[in-house]
Amino acid sequence: MKIQALAVFSALACSAQASHVQLEKDIDMFYSPNWKASERATVNDEINVHVVLKHTPERVSLLEEKLMDVSDPRSPDYGKHLSIQEVKDVLSLSPHVSYEVEQEISKYNVTDIKMNKYGDILSLQMNAKEAEKLFHTELYHHVHKNAPANIDSGVIRAIKPYHVPSTIADHVAIVEGLVRFPKREFVPTTIGENYRPKAFEGLGADDEFSSCGSSCTGYTTPAVLQKRYGYPTIGESDVADGNRMAVAEFQFQYYDDADMGAFSDACGLESPVEVASTVGGNKPSFCGVGVQACIESLLDIEYIKAVAGAIPLEVYYSGTFSLYDWAVQVNDDDSPAQVQSVSYGNDEIQQTSDDYMFTTNTEFMKAGARGVSIFFASGDQGVWGRSGSSTGKFNPDFPGGSPYVTAVGGTDFEVKSTIGDETTWADSGGGFSNTFDIPDYQADAVATYKSTATLPDASYFNNTGRGYPDISALGGQVNPYCIAYGGSGKKFTGVAGTSASSPVAAGIFAVLNNVRLSSGGAALGFLNPFLYQNADAFNDVTTGTNDAGNRKGGFDAAEGWDPATGLGTPDYTKLAQAL
């Protein structure tokens, strides 16, 4: 009887397994050193996931073709951005596919099913036990090891592979929200309230380094940035109709009026730092909880507004960390902000499947085709990435290495406290993707660099990969950025990283969009073809190496584009002339 029962059980198990098909098969790690698994999820736990439907390779290629057509200044269709319906028509997913998937999913007591506007993503809300059945996996609560003790920072994730029913497996690309952990630490590099670089103690600093009051003496300020990059001040009456910009924040990175007001007052900003709207909510009281609170978001908000003045700012917020979720939100907006800055990312190898990256790239292409410029920080660990040198190879960033975003690296001034030439910040992320090929728009620039520069050992990097960053802006620790933080409007500190570089670059291009929109033109949209065709509109950075202090190597800056600083830092006057 026991043997017979065991045989029956085995048959049932095999049948259950055969009825489901594993997705994202190249994911082989279902844990994170920064996240600790606790109790198993129960029927009382609600989860939200995206079921992403497959597009044919031919249709994705057609979307890429359309994206490049409306983004290339040499094209007769330059600036003729697509509507949601036009993007949907290009991708041309049959409604029968979504119907079949929704019918199958409905068998599992889903609380809520919503279809996005492109007809290719089903967002599900359901209890965790039903999700375990649907996706044939096990779900557990996880808590971040560095989370503040009084904050619920948990996420529910699978601890083993996930599957979908075999009846719909051919229609589903990935299920987002099951396996990827937030990799971002809670704060960028914080210098500290009492730190002052030695060069700032003397009389040699340019006046702009003292333009935000005694608490910020010696730090990079809005005045420093404006003098270096040459952009104008945008007042309320200068803002073109419809011009907007946005930043994305995750994991308790909220903002508060007291700190934004204190920063505005200290730096004498003509237009105060304010947020026009928030998608996802805000909890300003959290900004007074410990030294980690809100530093990333306040850095992003204070500096994109300091650069772009009165141009309205939106904040996308999510308590979890999913760049895919963020991209879906942006794309489902009927009129998204034309400039988006994101200071978050992972290494390509960090629990991110190729299927996930390619699917996320489709979202980036949708946004670009609709006229949205997306900026991503290139990372703060040099060529070695968050995984470090123990892998024996450089670890490129995602999304920084995506061909469909603009990656922003970080620089320092060559001479402390002196506004002038810049050099590579050693910790600025850059290199060549291990996943994506060199796009046409940068092929000549990459080839020139490789033919003239002294390259690291070939075993460290992928010689056929997309090169990044595309551009850079100040971000290093020689002149850290001064921000107001702490929830009271009374604390200031220095912060460094490409988390500063990205919103500064984004703000400058929001101002450039203002020029185009004011004259009746279209927003710049996906920027990279324009950037590489106007390389002389950047301050070329030709010194330094992004080796993160590791003697094993990095990439040297050089004349023209390089994988340490990209094309260089923005020269607003020249960029405006190139529009």
Known binding residues for Ca(2+) = 540-541, 560, 562
Binding residues: 540-541, 560, 562
- 523, 336 contact by CB (below 8 A): no
Q: What ranges make up the beta strands (E) of 204-287?
A: 245-250, 277-279
Give the 3-state secondary structure of residue 131: helix
Q: How far is CA 43 from CA 96, 103, 139, 140, 161, in A?
A: 31, 22, 11, 12, 20
Q: How far is CA 236 from CA 32, 233, 278, 326, 365, in A?
A: 46, 10, 20, 29, 32
CB within 8 Å of 202: residues ≥ 6 apart: none
State the DSSP string of 511-533. HHHHHHHHTT-----S-HHHHHH
The residues that bridge with 246 in the sheet, in sequence order, are 314, 340
Question: In the numeric block, which tokens belong to residue 216?
Answer: 């910020």
Active site residue: 297, 389, 499, 502, which one? 499
Examine the residue annotation and report whether 300 is marked as an active-site residue of this protein.
yes
Examine the residue annotation and report whether 104 is marked as an active-site residue of this protein.
no
Cα separation, 406 vs 530, in Å, equals 11
Say how many C-beta atoms besides its own lie within 10 A of residue 520's C-beta.
7
Active site residue: 104, 208, 259, 296, which one? 296
Cα separation, 513 vs 523, in Å, equals 5
Cα separation, 525 vs 81, in Å, equals 8
Active site residue: 208, 300, 427, 470, which one? 300
> What is the amino acid identity at position 122?
L
- 186, 37 contact by CB (below 8 A): no
Classify strands 406-413 and 422-424 as parallel, antiparallel or unpaired. Answer: antiparallel
DSSP state of 126: E
CB within 8 Å of 334: residues ≥ 6 apart: 84
Pick from 330, 393, 334: which is nearest to 364 by CA?
330
- 545, 456 contact by CB (below 8 A): no
CB within 8 Å of 85: residues ≥ 6 apart: none
Radius of gyration of the chain (CA): 24
Pick from 439, 492, 485, 502: which is nearest to 466 by CA?
439
- 131, 47 contact by CB (below 8 A): yes
Say how many C-beta atoms besides its own lie within 10 A of residue 133's C-beta.
14
Give the 3-state secondary structure of residue 407: strand
The residues that bridge with 109 in the sheet, in sequence order, are none
Cα separation, 383 vs 388, in Å, equals 9
Helix, strand, coil percentages, rounded to 5, for the chain:
35, 20, 45
Q: How many CA atoms lie within 13 A of 358 on its CB side?
A: 17
The residues that bridge with 411 in the sheet, in sequence order, are 424, 474
**Residues involved in catalysis:** 296, 300, 499
